């Protein structure tokens, strides 16, 4: 939200244990009644039947393939820009779980559809995970889907130039660096504000702060500030 990216309205409970969100598929009309929008996640739109035993199918594919799908569906072009911002945000906060079910479309009809607000974004890189119950604990160092790196599609986090190239050439964003600067600025402000927020344990804040260093550097804010000043 602070980075200028649409999210559902949210609030953190006083004890810091619950994140409460408004539903983005319910819209209040002027007369107070509720309109229910349609919602399909990208896995469903791509025709993948992601079920319990096949749940790793949501990790198939690439951010480029999602962008191509959005183009194919002929959504108004600002949706591609918004998609780039959501991907850039996940890259920069080191969310390794931005898979096909964590992007979706809202719609009233086939001709009136748009990208849903950003949801389910977590700095997963500060947590360990296991592939199966009792399995070894693994570090989360990669993205959920592939992105072009040089000539190869890979899950490795892109450099800032690679992320900009994705924004420019795949998502047709004229100035991807502007979105990246807005995100970096918002991350800086968020870390500052978290210092004064007693709901955030200091160990968590410090782990997030370390995990976010690489992402904040994508915008080269320091270099730009020097350039301006």
Footprint of ligand ADP (CB under 6 A): 8, 21, 23-25, 41, 101-102, 104, 119-120
Whether 90 and 145 have beta carbons less than 8 Å apart is answered as no
Partner interacting with residue 8 (select from Mg ion, ligand ADP, none; CB below 5-8 Å by kind): ligand ADP
Least separation, in Å, of the C-beta of 3 and ligand ADP?
Answer: 17
- Which residue's CB is nearer to ligand ADP, number 85 or number 177? 85
Least separation, in Å, of the C-beta of 12 and Mg ion?
Answer: 18
d(CA 153, CA 63): 10
Q: Which positions lie near Mg ion, rule CB under 5 A?
A: 102, 120
Partner interacting with residue 200 (select from ligand ADP, Mg ion, none; CB below 5-8 Å by kind): none
Least separation, in Å, of the C-beta of 58 and ligand ADP?
Answer: 9
Least separation, in Å, of the C-beta of 10 and ligand ADP?
Answer: 8
- Which residue's CB is nearer to ligand ADP, number 104 or number 158? 104
Which residue number has the CB closest to Mg ion?
A: 120
Partner interacting with residue 119 (select from Mg ion, ligand ADP, none; CB below 5-8 Å by kind): ligand ADP
* Residue 72: partners with Cβ closer than 8 Å, 6 or more residues away: none
- Which residue's CB is nearer to ligand ADP, number 21 or number 54? 21
Partner interacting with residue 59 (select from ligand ADP, Mg ion, none; CB below 5-8 Å by kind): none
Which residue number has the CB closest to ligand ADP?
A: 120
- Which residue's CB is nearer to Mg ion, number 112 or number 120? 120
């Amino acid at each position: 939200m602070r980075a200028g990216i649409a999210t559902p309205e949210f609030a953190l409970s006083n004890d810091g244990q619950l994140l409460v969100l408004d539903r983005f598929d319910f819209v209040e009309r002027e007369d107070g009644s509720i309109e229910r929008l349609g919602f399909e996640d990208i896995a469903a739109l791509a025709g993948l039947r992601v079920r319990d035993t096949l749940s790793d199918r949501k990790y198939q594919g690439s951010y480029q393939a999602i962008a191509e799908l959005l183009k194919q569906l002929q959504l108004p072009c600002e949706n591609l820009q918004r998609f780039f911002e959501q991907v850039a945000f996940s890259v920069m906060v080191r969310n390794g779980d931005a898979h096909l079910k964590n992007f979706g479309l809202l719609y009233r009809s086939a001709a009136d559809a748009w990208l849903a607000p950003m949801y389910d974004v977590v700095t997963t890189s500060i947590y360990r995970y296991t592939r199966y119950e009792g399995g070894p604990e693994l570090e989360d160092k990669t993205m959920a889907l592939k992105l072009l790196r040089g000539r190869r599609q890979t899950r490795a986090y892109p450099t800032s130039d690679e992320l900009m190239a994705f924004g420019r050439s795949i998502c047709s964003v004229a100035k991807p660096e502007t979105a990246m600067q807005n995100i970096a600025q918002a991350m800086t402000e968020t870390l500052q504000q978290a210092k004064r927020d007693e709901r955030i344990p200091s160990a968590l804040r410090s782990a997030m702060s370390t995990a976010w260093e690489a992402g904040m550097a994508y915008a080269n804010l320091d270099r730009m500030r020097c350039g301006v000043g």
